[in-house]
Structure 1
Amino acid sequence: MTIPSGTAAVIAPYDGDGPYPRAFARQGWRTVAVVPEHRLRPPAYRIAPIPAGYAGTVVHRGVRQTVKALRALGVSAVVAGSAEGIEAADRIAWQLGLPGADPASSPLRYDRGAQAARLSRAGIPALRGIRTTSPAAAVAWARTCPLPGYLLAPAVAGIPVEPVECADALQINSSWPVMRHAAVRYSGSAHLVLTELPSRPQYTVQTVTRPGPDGRPEHVVTGVWEDARSGHGRPDPAGPLSSDSRPARTLTLRTTRVLDALGVACGPATTRFAYRAGDEPLLVYSLAAPVVTPADEALRRTTAVHLVAPRMKPL
């Protein structure tokens, strides 16, 4: 099937020379970068250069002004270029009358704490944990839920801040200031999540969601990857799984339920699970943006294969 050409707006692409323009260009589309003005950016990106490779750039100062500019450019698709772009992408797509998720529920598509709470209400098993700005509250929760270990991470997923494993209250307290500083620097939010330590192995599921014939979202899994753990603790890709393998089938079914619960309606998403055969898959996070994860980047360096491009097919 030939995909008609068009113009896509990529909201807050903070990765410099990222994959978005090239991936869309392969499908005959041009891209426009929508870059928030400096005061609206997280501190780490306030002096970031204008991304390269885009046909044009729109400075985002407010939704109404941005929508007017994008409408004049004939934009017919909107995607988030980073975790920070998800809320703006939802609002802009909504105002343009383009396929997109409900702006009222945007945090469900990037916030670990909001996701866990939503899955719990939907009856889908999730990691036990707490989302808070208070280390005292986190320690109090850990004392009511004694576990072999905990994971401390920014509430906002998809930012370049590695979670930290904590064994006890002392490590939670000592790790908190550094993690909070990093979270604020890269996301603008001081909220952290403390969860049970996810089991190994972990998996990354890549998807593209499009409106189906009946208008309901259809989630297409484009890849399932098992992550190995390197010596520095980051996930490295162990390789793609066959779609016929038991883990891939199990994770595909669970991903569909999770994306439905989180209101993912359109575009690419990266979803990570902790899963061991015989147990329920537990969501680590889901991000409704084709952000390059450490696993993506490690694979690109070692094999020249990019995991993002297959997810960037225009809608």
Structure 2
Amino acid sequence: MSGAIVGRFQAIYPPFNWPLAARTGRRTRPTDVSAAPQTATPVPSYLAPRVAAVVAPYTDEGHAREFARLGWQQIAVLLGPGLLPAGAAPEVHGEFARTVLHDGGLRRTVRQLRMHQVRAVVAGSPMGVALAERLARELELPGNDPASTPARCDLGAQTKALAEHGITAPRMLHTTSLTEAQEWTRFCALPTYEVAPADTGVEVRARVCRTAQEIAEAWQSVSGALPRRGGRRPALVIREYLPGRRYVVHSLSGRGEDGTPEHTVTDAWAQSFTATGELDRMDLMSRHGLLPRVLSLYVLQVLGALEVSTGPLRCEIAYLPERGPVLLNARAFPEISAAGHCARTALGSDAFRDAAHAAIFDRSRRPVRSPGPLHLTRIRLLPTADGVLDRWLLRTITTLPTVTHADSTLMARAEVRSGVCPGEIVLRSSDEGAIEADFRVIRAVERLGLYEGARS
């Protein structure tokens, strides 16, 4: 860091330029100072106002809250109507000193941000990732290279980038046409496929399918759940289904003292699914096991292939014994959920704090874990029928010994829908057996009538 500070002072105070008379010994004609063009004296960086731009702050107020905690002013860069999905009017999350509307003119937006002396740029939602990277590059601020943005935002581009670097990736087709997708499946003749959105920032669950009829139904279901821009059909991917265990690995990147990217894997989670394919639970993996190290090494390769140099990356990975780790999805935006925030805070990591730190200092912040064993499990409640949360049974599971967090949506007499998770519960303990015991209690209470409470 000291080297960076010295570099800033060298930029602020350049070598002194002697006047022409002192260098040549010749007299110079006096000039009218009032007639000379007036230029603003550059303000030293340590005196300049600390202003951060949050691009498309439509998901969570975490970035604005973190910059405010650090004493920075925030500017919201909002997307114009032409850049939003049809009929969308997203809510702005967070308190901002002022707003800048981006309607597609990059130069105009950059000019406004320069006028406000913006010194850090972050994406406030997946919709803002591409624009945030372009703005950071134009303002000469920390950020990823905009030329490689598609590799971080599109599954098709991700697979191509991995293949170019010789990294294992699933076979897939990127298209907007169902006919092309079905022709590709006939050519590949695989037993099972998966249909998913091409946009890595969209929270729509992939659908598993086998027959041509199931592929058509999955295509219609996923496509119908996606936002449309300008009346265009959204791009989807159809890929081979990988039946192995699945994991989630978080990382943070920044530049080292020599300017090269440095990557830190902060945590890895093992996912478990129900027989119907619903996510059941996520368990924190030990840092000392062989598999977490294999996953971490694979993620480091992925980070290089996707040209990530600054900020967070969330990788969803399948592991097959015969092929090893295979990337399913990489998102250049942190997970936004109360349960996820609680779990990562227990590990000494905060997604918004890490993103702000990377945007300000262009350095990766290493999490500091508490000593001793730590077991964390995120439990998703899974209603099998429409109903209402029972007050007393809900109290039973939220007051279990290892419960450290329950989502605010889990309230007595709250309505639930079949197949839709109403919220998560986080279990934390130094004893893995205690977590397993409380997990069994939660599932037993669900069967006893957790979703059969009185409506009034």
> Smaller-chain TM-score range?
0.7 to 0.9
- Tell me by how many angstroms 1:301 deviates: 8.2
Kindly indicate whether residue 182 of structure 2 is the aligned counterpart of residue 182 of structure 1.
no
User: Does the CA-based 8 Å contact 2:208-2:218 persist in structure 1?
Assistant: no
Q: In 1, are the aligned partners of 2:78 and 2:101 still within 8 Å (CA)?
A: yes
Letter paired with 1:280: G
Q: Does 2:325 correspond to 1:260? A: no
Distance of aligned partners of 1:152 and 1:8 in 2 relative to their CA distance in 1, 3 Å threshold: same
Instruction: Specify which of 235, 238, 243 is matched with residue 282 of structure 2.
Output: 238
Question: Which secondary structure does the structure 2 equivalent of 1:54 belong to?
Answer: coil
Residue 49, structure 1, aligned to residue 91, structure 2: yes
Superposition CA RMSD, Å = 2.9
- TM-score (norm. length: structure 1): 0.87
Match of 1:12 in 2: 56
Q: 2: distance between equivalents of 1:189 and 1:263?
A: 28
State which of 332, 355, 361 in structure 2 corresponds to 1:288. Answer: 332
Distance (Å, rounded) in 2 between the aligned partners of 1:196 and 1:141:
11
* SS in structure 2 of the partner of residue 175 of structure 1: helix
CA shift digits 1:267-302 (9 cap, x unpaired): 11111111245641100111112242xxx4554589
Q: Does 2:239 match 1:203?
A: no
Query: Identity of paired residues, percent?
Result: 37
What's the CA shift for 1:104?
2.1
SS of structure 1 residue aligned to 2:227: helix
- SS of equivalent to 1:10: strand
1:91 aligns with one of 129, 134, 147: 134
Contact conserved, 2:65 with 2:94, CA < 8 A, in 1?
no
Structure 1 residue matching 2:119: 3-state secondary structure: strand
Counterpart residue number, 1:145:
188
Match of 2:171 in 1: 128
Structure 1 residue 115 corresponds to structure 2 residue 158: yes
CA contact (8 A) 1:7 1:74 kept: yes
Cα deviation, 1:6-29, whole Å, max 9, x if unaligned, reads 4332222221x4322223344444
Once the two structures are TM-superposed, the CA of residue 311 in structure 1 deviates from its matched residue by 3.5
Residues 1:222 and 2:266 aligned together: yes
How far 1:108 moved relative to its partner? Answer: 0.5
Shift of 1:242: 2.0
Compared with structure 1, are the counterparts of its residues 277 and 313 closer, same or farther at alpha carbon in structure 2 (3 Å cutoff)? farther
Q: Which amino acid aligns with 2:251?
A: T
What stretches of structure 2 of length at least 5 have no aligned partner? 6-45, 359-456
Q: Does the Cα contact within 8 Å between 1:269 and 1:286 map onto a contact in 2?
A: yes
**Aligned partner of 1:248: which letter?**
P
Q: Secondary structure at the match of 1:269?
A: strand
Q: Closer, same or farther in 2 for the Cα pair 1:141/1:285, shift >3 Å?
A: same
Unaligned stretches of 5+ in structure 1? none
When Rg is computed on C-alpha atoms for both structures, the one with the higher figure is 2
Aligned residues: 310
Q: Closer, same or farther in 2 for the Cα pair 1:35/1:142, shift >3 Å? A: same
TM-score normalized by the length of structure 2: 0.62
Q: 1:179 to 1:300 in 2, by over 3 A?
A: same
- 1:201-247 deviations in Å (ceiling 9; x for gaps): 21111111111222121111121112222577444552222222222
Which SS does the other structure have where 1:209 is aligned? Answer: strand
User: Counterpart in 1 of 2:319?
Assistant: 275
CA distance in structure 1 between the partners assigned to 2:305 and 2:345 by the alignment: 34
Partner of 1:77 in structure 2?
A: 120
Q: CA deviation at 1:261?
A: 0.6
Distance 1:108 1:63 in 2: 21
> 1:29/1:222 Cα in 2 relative to 1: closer, same or farther (>3 Å)?
farther
